[in-house]
Amino acid sequence: MRDEGGRGIPAAEVVAGAARVRTDDAGRFRLRVDDTVRTVRVRHPGYRYVDVAVDALARAVVLRAVPRALDAVVVTASRREQRLKDAVVPIELVSRAEIERTGAPDVAAVLVEQVGIQLEGGTPTGAGVQLQGFGAQRVLVLVDGQPLVGRINGNLDASRIPASMVERIEVVKGPQSTLYGSDAIGGVINVITRRPAGGRTELQLQAIGGQLGRAEASGTLLRGTPRTDLSLDVGARTQDLAPGFADVADAYARRAHVAPTLRWRADSTWTLETGGMFVSEAQRYRTGLDFRFADRTQLAWRAAAAWQKGAHRVQPLLYVTRFDHLARSSPGAAPLDGAGDRDRQDLAEFELTYAGKVAGAQVDAGLEARREGIRADRVPGGDRALYRIEPYAQATLVRGPVSITPGTRVTIDELWGTAVTPRLAMLWRPHAPLALRLTAGRGFRAPDFKELFLEFVNTQVGYAVIGNPSLRPEYSTSVAADVEWVRDAWTARVNVFDNRFRDFIEYRQNDDGLFQLQNVGRGTTRGVETEVTLLVGAARLEAGYAFLRTRDEATGRALLGRPRHSGRLGLSGPLHDRLRGSLTVLYTGSTPVALGPTGLIAGFQPVFIRADARLVARVRTGIDMILGVDNLLDRRLGPGWPGFTGRLVYLGASWRRP
C-alpha cells in the first residue's frame, strides 16, 4: 500500500471476507484468500478506502487522502495529542503531502498558499505571517510547541524554518493566549518536525537547482525501533536574491541547517526526548551605493521527560533558544571587520504540564517559568533580562455531541505586572460529518525589550526614538464561529470572526520632540474565510476565499498592508501512470500600503495574481524528477513585498528509501 507520493502506508487494514490483516512498516502485507473471494477492501484513517480485484494485488495499491483527515493527530488546540475532529477550536492542518506538493523550500512559502494567510515584511526582517488582519508581531510561531526568539522589527521570519524538516503545520487563528501566552493575539503557527512512523526507517535525499542561482540540497533520516525514534534533517540553500528585495544585482541569501531529535521509551510509563535545530543565514543586498549584510544564527534545543499512566500524563520540559543578528554595511562587496550592529536575543524556559481526567473532565494545565534576555547596541546598558511566571488551565466537559472548554492563564511579569487571559470554546457535532465551533477569548502581547528600552538617535536626519518602560501589554477580545462539513469526496468550511484590540503600542511625538512608544492603538478586524475541497476521481480541487475588513478607531481608516479580498485555487492529481501535477493560483486584492500628508490612504499595492505549477515524474520506485515554476505569470511588485516575485523555474530530483 502506498500513498500518492509513493511512500508505504503502515497499519492499513486489508479485508477479504472474514480475513483481516494490516500492512507492515513498508506498506506490505500477506493475505491468504480462497477461490470465492474476488475483491479485497483496503482502508486507513485519513485515506479513501479502495476495493481491489484479487488478481490486481500484485501491483502497488495507491490510497488517496480524504479532503480532510478528521482522525489525524493534532496538538495545538490543547497542548496534547488528540484527534482533529475532537479539537474544540478550529485547526487548519497542512500535511507533509501538501508541503511536498507545493515544492516550497521553507515554511513561509508553504503558508502563503493557505487561505487567509498573508506574508509581510521585507529586507532585513524576512517574511512574517499575518492572520486575521493581525501582523507578524502579534502572531506566535512555534516549533514543536515551543516559541522561537529572533524578531526583527517585530517580524519573526518564517522563511528561516526549512520545509524539509517539517511533518505538518498546525494553524490556529484568533487569540490563543490562554494556552500560549504573549504574542498569540492573531493566532499560533505550530511547526511539527518529522518523526518516524510505525517504527519504520526512511531515508530521503533531495536536490534542486533553478534560476537566479538557486541551489539547495537536503537529507532526512527517520529511524524507528521498539525503544527509540531518531530523526535527523540537514540541508543547505543559496540563491542570488535577498528576501523582500526586488533588485537582484549583487544580492544573495544563504542558509544551512541541522535538526536532530531523539526519543527513548524507557519503559511503559517513561519517555525521554531531546532535540532542536540550528540555522545559519547570510544575506547581502544593495541600497544606493552601499552594500548591506545580515548574518544570523538561530539555535533552539529542548529536553523533556513524559510520565504516563492510564489517563494521566505529566511532562517536565526545559527549553532554550537563541538568535544572533549582525547587521553591517560597506561600500564594497565584503563587510568591514569589527563594524555593524549586533542583536542577541535569548529565551530559557522551564515548563511543567499535566493532562488527564479529573472528575469526569479532561484537564490540561501547566506552569511556565521563563527568562528572556537581550544584548543589543541600541538598548541602554547593552544587556537586559526579564522574568515571567505563567500558570494556566483548561477543562473539557463532554455531554453527548457537545464539548465545552473554559480556560484561563495568569501571566505575572516583574516589570509590567499581571495579565489574565480567559477563553471559552464549544464544539457541537450533531452529525458525524458536521461540526460547529464557537470561541470567545482574550489575547495579549507583552511589550518587547526594544519597545521598553530602545534609544536611537539619527543626527543626520534630526530625530530620535526612545522606548517607554511604562508600557502596558496590548489586548484583544475575539469571538468566532466555524462550521465544517466533511464527506468522503468533499469538505466545506466557513469561519466568521470579530476581533477588537486596544492599547496597541504605537509611536507618538512627546513634548520634547522625541518619538516615544505609547499604548494608544485601538481598532477592529472582522472577516469571513471559506474553503471547499473536492475529490473528482483521482484529482483534487481546492478553492478558498477570505474577506477582511479592518479599522483604526483613531482615524477611521483601514489598517495598512491588509488586503480586503484574497483567494486560492488549487488543482492536483495524476496526469499519467508515472506523472503527477499541481497548479495553484493565488489572488491578493488591492492593498493599502501608504499614507498621504493628511493621514488618508494614498498608496495601494495593485491586485496581484500568482500561479505556481509543479510536475513530479516517477523514474523508478523511490526516485522522482521535479520540474516547477513559481510565479508562472511573472508578476512583480514593489521591494517591500516579502519574497522575490519574478518568474522562477527550478528542476530537482528526490530519492526516498522506505
Q: Rounded distance, CA 298 to CA 376, Å?
A: 16
DSSP 98: H
Read off the C-alpha cell for 229: 525514534
Per-residue pLDDT, 4? 66
Report whether pLDDT(434) > 70.
yes
The total of other beta-carbon atoms located within 10 Å of residue 277's CB is 24
The residue that leads in pLDDT, 34 or 294, is 294
Read off the C-alpha cell for 603: 498608496
Q: Rounded distance, CA 226 to CA 263, Å?
A: 11
Of 201-215, 322-336, 594-608, 632-646, the one with minimum mean pLDDT is: 632-646
Report whether pLDDT(188) > 80.
yes
Q: SS3 for 19?
A: strand
Report whether pLDDT(642) > 70.
no
DSSP 65: B
Per-residue pLDDT, 554? 86
- Tens-place pLDDT, residues 286-321: 888 889 999 999 999 999 999 999 999 999 999 999
Q: SS3 for 449?
A: helix
DSSP-derived pairing of the beta strands 565-576 and 539-552: antiparallel
The residue that leads in pLDDT, 57 or 253, is 253
List helix spans (H) across 50-151: 96-102, 107-111
Of 16-20, 216-220, 426-430, 646-650, the one with minimum mean pLDDT is: 16-20
For 643, what's the count of Cα atoms within 13 Å in the CB-facing half-sphere? 27
Radius of gyration of the chain measured on its C-alpha atoms: 25
Please give the single-letter amino acid code of residue 346: D
Residue 59 · residue 28 · CB < 8 Å: no
Residue 13 · residue 43 · CB < 8 Å: yes
Per-residue pLDDT, 37? 73
**Considering only CA atoms, which of 270, 251, 311 is closest in space to residue 644?**
251
Please give the single-letter amino acid code of residue 567: G
CA angle 456/461/464 to nearest 5° reads: 25
Give me the sign of the Cα torsion angle 595, 290, 457, 374: positive
Predicted structure pTM score: 0.90
SS (H, E, C) 528-565: EEEEEEEEECCEEEEEEEEEEEEEECCCCCCCCCCCCE
Of 2-11, 36-45, 414-423, 481-490, the one with minimum mean pLDDT is: 2-11
Residue 646 · residue 241 · CB < 8 Å: no
**Considering only CA atoms, which of 189, 144, 182 is closest in space to residue 410?**
182
**Considering only CA atoms, which of 150, 92, 80, 87 is closest in space to residue 121?**
150
Q: Rounded distance, CA 12 to CA 8, Å?
A: 10
**Considering only CA atoms, which of 198, 192, 108 is closest in space to residue 156?**
108
Per-residue pLDDT, 436? 97
Cis, bond preceding 124 (omega within 30 deg of 0): yes
Share of the chain above pLDDT 90, in %: 58
Q: What number is the average pLDDT over the span 153-179? A: 92
Q: SS3 for 56?
A: helix
Residue 125 pLDDT class (50, 70, 90 cuts): confident
Report whether pLDDT(59) > 70.
no
The contacts of residue 372 (CB under 8 Å, 6+ apart) are 149, 345, 346, 347, 385, 386, 388, 449
Q: Rounded distance, CA 135 to CA 431, Å?
A: 36
Q: What number is the average pLDDT over the span 55-72? A: 73
Give me the sign of the Cα torsion angle 515, 322, 243, 245: positive
Read off the C-alpha cell for 601: 490612504
Residue 538 · residue 525 · CB < 8 Å: no
Report whether pLDDT(513) > 70.
no
Q: What number is the average pLDDT over the span 520-537? A: 94
Q: Rounded distance, CA 79 to CA 609, Å?
A: 37
**Considering only CA atoms, which of 61, 68, 17 is closest in space to residue 43?**
61
Most confident by average pLDDT, 94-103, 392-401, 612-621: 392-401
Q: What number is the average pLDDT over the span 80-106? A: 91
Report whether pLDDT(24) > 70.
no
Mean pLDDT score of the chain: 88
The total of other beta-carbon atoms located within 10 Å of residue 331's CB is 8
Residue 45 pLDDT class (50, 70, 90 cuts): low
Question: Which residues of 105-244 form beta strands (DSSP E)?
Answer: 117-122, 126-131, 139-143, 146-147, 166-173, 187-193, 201-210, 214-224, 228-239
The contacts of residue 589 (CB under 8 Å, 6+ apart) are 563, 564, 565, 566, 607
Report whether pLDDT(550) > 60.
yes
Q: Rounded distance, CA 613 to CA 450, Å?
A: 42
Give me the numbers of helices (H) and strands (E) for the chain, helices first please. Answer: 4, 39
DSSP 137: G
